Amino acid sequence: MDKERKLIIAGNWKMNKTVAEALDLVNGLKLELGKVKDVDIVVCPPFTALGEVSKAILSARNLALGAQNMSEHKPGAYTGEIAAQMLKEFSVRYVILGHSERRIYQLESDELISKKAQAAHAAALKPIVCVGETLTEREAGQMEKVLETQVRGSLAALTKDQMVETVVAYEPVWAIGTGKTATAQQAQDAHAFIRAQLAKIFDEAVARKVRIQYGGSVKPANARELMSLPDVDGALVGGAALEVRSFADIVKNSI
Ligand code: PEP
């Protein structure tokens, strides 16, 4: 597939996998995906498995490590939080920010996500910033308004250079973990809309460079069609990232 932007496929393991299970998964992925080129593959285990998974992928040049969240603060008195600097210790390169589960359960706001994105860049981590509308919002015709607010609120404070190094994940909330995937047209329209917002906030050149992932029930069977869309530059995968076979097939079917 010939695209201006390099595909990035990330697996969000969420609150799953003991250290032993995480190692099984990542070692399986190393075997399956060791020879795959021209796509950035990112695994995002829970914090507790970052250290061991980091060691396991030292010899895998095409696998990068991501975290699922981080604090907006520098190290200090913030019980239960993890700072960007601590992630760097494990050679983490990406961090998912503003996942809809955190927006819903931890009430994370665009303002907070913006602070986290700035803190990530200050530590040379690449944020994967999630945006997406709920079913109620889509049915009320508010998708564009929601995306515009989230994109502006969580990304506008970045510099142009930081924005280019940021990944945006369009994840319609109604498609996450539900088995319902956006149609190709719905995904392309939303991605094109997000890119147009980035052009408004930054400029056309920045918008052309930013990678926008689709997330929401991506499976081996729908990966090829989704990844072939002009404004879809990768996938953020939840459920199907928990098994070697399904995640490896998503990657292979995408290229
Ligand atoms: C996610 O939670 O980011 C996600 C896309 O989940 P799933 O693939 O299971 O829908």
> Can 99 be counted among the known catalytic residues?
yes
Identify the bridge partners of residue 167 per DSSP, sorted by sequence position. Answer: 128, 211
Ligand 1 atom showing the smallest separation from residue 12 Cα: 3
| pLDDT at residue 187 in the model | 97
Compute CA distances 142 → 16, 100, 164, 190, 200, whole Å. 33, 17, 27, 12, 19
Q: How far is the CA of 76 from the centre of ligand 1 (A)?
A: 32
Query: How far is the C-alpha of 81 from the C-alpha of 150, rounded, in Å?
Result: 24
Q: Give the per-residue pLDDT at 2.
A: 54
Active site residue 121: no
Q: Where are the beta strands (DSSP E) in 22-139?
A: 39-44, 63-67, 94-97, 126-131
Mutational test site, ligand 1, from 218, 226, 242, 247, max ligand atoms within 8 Å of CB: 218
**Cα gap 82→86, rounded to integer Å:** 7
How far is the centre of ligand 1, averaged over its atoms, from the C-alpha of 77 (Å)?
Answer: 32
C-beta of residue 119 within 8 angstroms of C-beta of residue 88: no
Catalytic residue chosen out of the listed positions 72, 99, 133, 137: 99
Is the CB–ligand 1 distance for residue 176 below 6 Å? Answer: yes
Atom of ligand 1 nearest to the CA of 241: 8
The pTM (predicted TM-score) of the whole model is 0.97
Instruction: Give the 3-state secondary structure of residue 43.
Output: strand
Query: What is the 8-class DSSP label of residue 70?
Result: -
Tokens read off for 148 = 């515009």
CA angle at residue 14 from 144 to 148, to 5 degrees?
Answer: 10
238 lines ligand 1 (CB under 6 A): yes
Encode burial over 65-87: b for 16+ CB neighbours within 10 A, e otherwise. Answer: bbbbbbbbeeeeeeeeebbbebb
Query: For residue 13, what are its two tokens?
Result: 């393991």
> Would you state the structure tokens that stand for residue 74, as one six-digit string?
């520098």
pLDDT tens digit at each of 255 positions of the chain: 457 899 999 999 999 999 999 999 999 999 999 999 999 999 999 999 999 999 999 989 899 999 999 999 999 999 999 999 999 999 999 999 999 999 999 999 999 999 999 999 999 999 999 999 999 999 999 999 999 999 999 999 999 999 999 999 999 999 998 888 889 999 999 999 999 999 999 999 999 999 999 999 999 999 999 999 999 999 999 999 999 999 999 999 999
